[in-house]
């Protein structure tokens, strides 16, 4: 299954295979449905776009411009909204508006673990996901409950209407217009995730944003540009320190990013464009599958013998941080295989849980720190052995960013 196709990421088959068929909370995604990306796509815009020129304030309200929805007019800062993906939920919490989330898009425990994994490491900052509703039925995550949208009565829906027009959902423009007119506007840019091709009817003038440009748009909606600038400054400082201390490309380990279940590995092309790989891109790593002549963007699954051929120095389990016991069980299964010693990453105990691409500001900081330690422990400090759920405790002197500053920004104390 190609990772460069933009079907509904409420999680795709790749993300669900990690459960071996059983999904947390009982939901199940039987296969990959949705709009495939095809052909060439524009390169990602330069990282670092500030939250400027995105909103115009006036006494009677303000507006925020985002492709593909255009100018979104708001009378006041939204007090309730659907945060369909972790990126919008993470942005809301980081910018001090977590209490305004009224629903999420898919399996509650998986969603909560994805965001809470990082926020649980911050004293006084919480992501309260347990009581949130979800707008997709457990049996079919690609079905959005329109009636529930009316019950929620959100001030704004953080979801790309072009995604809803894709084959994953099959909505028409009338559906979208009715929800917008009756309840509240749409606001999302899903296809910047991989700079993939949106469905017909959305392709003309669709713009792609880097992660921090996109986060700046959420900040503009919430009128939290100052919080955004503080987080952006932390991000830029962290990336600058990381890139300044990287070894030459020839001395960097080869990396495989995979999903796994029951002896089968699915590779990801983490060198592709889009904000999904923002936590890996600064490290300039080579893809071990590509080096072995295997296309990691193809719809392919591979057995252990293929991993022996690929010989990755490091293996990262995409979305592994949200799996808890499931990751630990799968890791034991992998390293106990008779061929484990023939794979450098497994032989040297360099198989790690990795992050998730739909990441808010706080998630991005943690995931950059995590990746730096997993790839270059001699330069950024060892990544602690992962023995239980939750972001492991990092001694203060080994942290790559200031946790208290994050808490202060969320609290508005800066």
Tokens of 345: 């990453």
**Which CATH number goes with the domain that contains 104?**
3.40.50.1980
User: 48 lies in which domain range?
Assistant: 13-224
DSSP-derived letter for residue 37 is P
Q: Are 273 and 406 within one domain? A: yes
Q: Are 145 and 280 within one domain? A: no
Looking up tokens 């830029």 gives 236
Number of Cβ atoms within 10 Å of the Cβ of 51: 23
53 part of a folded domain: yes
Q: Are 393 and 247 within one domain? A: yes
Residue 317, judged by CB atoms within 10 A of its CB (0-12, 13-18, 19+), counts as buried
Looking up tokens 């790690």 gives 352
Q: Are 207 and 255 within one domain? A: no
Q: Are 110 and 169 within one domain? A: yes
**pTM here?**
0.88
Q: Is the peptide bond before 68 cis (omega within 30 degrees of 0)?
A: yes
Q: Are 250 and 156 within one domain? A: no
Q: Could you tell me where the DSSP H helices lie in 153-210?
A: 161-165, 173-182
- Model confidence pLDDT, tens digit, residues 363-399: 999 999 999 999 999 999 999 987 777 899 999 999 9
Find the range with the poorest average confidence among 43-52, 117-126, 133-142, 158-167: 43-52
Tokens of 307: 């991993």
CA neighbor of 123 nearest in space, from 361, 363, 407: 407
Number of structural domains (the chain) is 2
Distance of CA 22 to the CA centre of its chain: 22
Cα(207)–Cα(230) distance, integer angstroms? 25
- Model confidence pLDDT, tens digit, residues 281-337: 999 999 999 999 998 987 789 999 999 999 999 999 999 999 988 999 999 999 999
What sign for the dihedral angle of Cα 67, 68, 73, 74? negative
- Model confidence pLDDT, tens digit, residues 172-228: 999 999 999 999 999 999 999 999 999 999 999 999 999 999 999 999 999 999 999
Q: Answer yes or no: is pLDDT of 41 > 70.
A: no
* Virtual torsion, Cα 305, 307, 310, 313, nearest 10 deg: -140
């Amino acid at each position: 299954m190609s990772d460069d196709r933009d079907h509904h990421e409420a999680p795709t088959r790749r993300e669900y295979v990690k459960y071996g068929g059983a999904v947390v909370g009982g939901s199940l995604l039987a296969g990959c449905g949705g709009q495939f990306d095809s052909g060439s796509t524009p390169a990602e815009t330069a990282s670092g776009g500030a939250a400027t020129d995105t909103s115009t304030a006036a006494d009677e309200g303000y507006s925020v411009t985002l492709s593909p929805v255009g100018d979104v007019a708001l009378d006041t800062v939204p007090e309730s909204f659907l945060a369909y993906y972790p990126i919008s939920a993470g942005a809301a919490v980081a910018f001090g508006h977590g209490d305004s989330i009224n629903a999420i898009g898919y399996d509650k425990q998986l969603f909560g673990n994805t965001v809470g994994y990082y926020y649980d490491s911050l004293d006084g900052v919480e992501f309260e996901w347990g009581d949130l509703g979800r707008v997709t039925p457990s049996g079919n995550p690609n079905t959005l409950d329109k009636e529930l949208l009316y019950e929620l009565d959100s001030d704004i829906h953080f979801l790309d209407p072009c995604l809803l027009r894709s084959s994953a959902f099959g909505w028409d423009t009338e559906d979208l217009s009715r929800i917008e007119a009756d309840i509240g506007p749409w606001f999302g840019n899903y296809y910047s995730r991989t700079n993939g091709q949106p469905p017909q009817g959305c392709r003309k003038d669709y713009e792609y944003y880097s992660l921090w440009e996109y986060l700046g748009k959420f900040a503009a909606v919430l009128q939290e540009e100052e919080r955004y600038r503080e987080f952006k400054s932390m991000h830029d400082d962290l990336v600058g320190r990381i890139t300044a201390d990287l070894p030459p490309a020839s001395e960097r380990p080869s990396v495989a990013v995979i999903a796994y279940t029951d002896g089968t590995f699915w590779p990801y092309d983490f060198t592709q464009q889009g904000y999904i790989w923002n936590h890996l891109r600064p490290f300039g790593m080579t893809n071990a599958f590509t080096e072995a002549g295997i296309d990691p963007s193809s719809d392919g699954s591979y057995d252990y013998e293929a991993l022996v051929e690929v010989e990755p120095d490091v293996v990262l389990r995409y979305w592994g941080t949200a799996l808890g016991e499931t990751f630990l069980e799968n890791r034991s299964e992998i390293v106990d295989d008779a061929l484990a010693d023939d794979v450098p990453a497994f032989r040297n105990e360099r198989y790690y849980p990795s992050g998730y691409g739909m990441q808010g500001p706080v998630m991005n900081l943690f995931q950059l720190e995590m990746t730096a330690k997993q790839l270059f422990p001699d330069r950024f400090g060892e990544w602690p052995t992962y023995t239980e759920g939750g972001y492991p405790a990092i001694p203060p002197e080994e942290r790559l960013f200031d946790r208290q500053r994050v808490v202060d920004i969320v609290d508005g104390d800066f």
